[in-house]
């Protein structure tokens, strides 16, 4: 068995996520305490007691999801469950980078706090939205955005799995796509729970400010785990300008589907989605029906995953 860990991004959040893990595992509580110490944000209270509207603000969502994922990783480490192949969807890549020791825990928490703030506050004025286009090839979604939608800016943002691409842009353009989707051949078009034109050129100011913050942290180039980049779906190497890649990341499309394919090509046969929801698990099953896909988002799924892994070893 060759394990790969994958980490979800914004949109997977729900109020109360991770609460039973926090209540039952000291390792998880320690990560939430560290997040509060580093960022000044009471992430436990934010995640467990806030409203969906408050939690869905980008500045809150990113630190909440990252903290939950990192807490689960600590329980896996205690149980001697480790992976050498890692990928994350957008902010999920930071969990992979922290786990691999490319970025320290403290620096990772600080950067995600700033990343969330910049992605919320440095969006150009406008009415922005995102939507998932289901049932069309990537190239057709690219063509539709370029040629068919006339009411505003719209581009592909996340290549999730075969037959599903998330697009980002003006609210009017997203609405037009939702209305025209079936006539253009899509099975359906679903608007997403996000609040900005993420992973597009509109995030240039946020990218520039994030680069300034990244320049303040240390990058460890002495890593052995394989982390697959959102930017081009290839592994990070010791020659990469990692800070520049992460800065570009917020204004470039996410290549999650290809990242998973590349992990499978390197022998990964079992994936564990670590964090809220099962969205990535669904993507992976559509990418390759042969691999085993597990997920950990609460105490029950954690115990189930540990049981399955121990039975197979």
Catalytic residue numbers? 90, 199
Residue (of 205, 37, 206) closest to 116 by Cα position:
206
Contacts of 292 (CB under 8 A, 6+ apart): 269, 270, 271
Does residue 2 contact residue 85 with C-beta atoms inside 8 Å?
yes
Q: By the 8 A CB rule, do 150 and 210 touch?
A: no
Element (H, E) at 274: strand 270-274
For residue 238, give the nearest of 211, 219, 252 by alpha carbon: 219
DSSP string, 29-66: HHHHHHHHHHHS--HHHHHHHS-HHHHTSHHHHHHHHH
Helix axes 105-121, 26-39, angle to 10 degrees: 60
Find the farthest-apart pair of alpha carbons in the chain and give their distance in angstroms, rounded.
55
Alpha helices in 103-226 (DSSP H): 105-121, 138-143, 171-180, 204-214
Tokens of 73: 């990783």
């Amino acid at each position: 068995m060759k394990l790969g860990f994958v980490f979800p991004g914004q949109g997977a959040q729900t109020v109360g996520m991770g609460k039973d893990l926090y209540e039952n595992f000291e390792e998880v509580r320690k990560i939430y305490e560290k997040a509060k110490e580093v960022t000044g944000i009471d992430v436990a209270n934010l995640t467990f007691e806030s409203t969906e509207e408050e939690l869905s603000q980008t500045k809150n969502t990113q630190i909440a999801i990252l903290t939950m994922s990192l807490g689960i990783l600590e329980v896996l480490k205690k149980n001697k469950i480790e992976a050498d192949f890692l990928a994350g969807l957008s902010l999920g890549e930071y969990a992979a980078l922290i786990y691999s020791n490319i970025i320290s825990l403290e620096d990772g928490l600080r950067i995600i706090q700033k990343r969330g703030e910049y992605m919320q506050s440095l969006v150009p004025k406008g009415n922005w939205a995102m939507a998932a286009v289901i049932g069309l090839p990537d190239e057709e979604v690219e063509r539709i955005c370029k040629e068919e939608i006339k009411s505003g800016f719209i581009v592909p943002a996340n290549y999730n799995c075969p037959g599903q691409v998330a697009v980002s842009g003006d609210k009017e353009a997203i609405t037009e796509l939702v209305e025209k989707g079936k006539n253009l051949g899509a099975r359906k078009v679903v608007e997403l729970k996000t609040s900005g034109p993420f992973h597009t050129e509109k995030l240039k100011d946020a990218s520039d400010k994030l680069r300034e913050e990244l320049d303040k942290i240390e990058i460890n180039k002495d890593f052995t785990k394989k982390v697959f980049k959102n930017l081009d779906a290839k592994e990070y190497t010791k020659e990469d300008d990692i800070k520049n890649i992460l800065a570009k990341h917020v204004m470039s499309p996410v290549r999650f589907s290809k990242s998973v394919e590349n992990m499978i090509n390197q022998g990964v046969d079992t994936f564990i989605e670590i964090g809220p929801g099962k969205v990535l698990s669904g993507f992976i099953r559509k990418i390759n029906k042969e691999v085993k896909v597990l997920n950990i988002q609460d105490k029950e799924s954690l115990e189930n995953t540990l049981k399955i892994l121990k039975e197979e070893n």
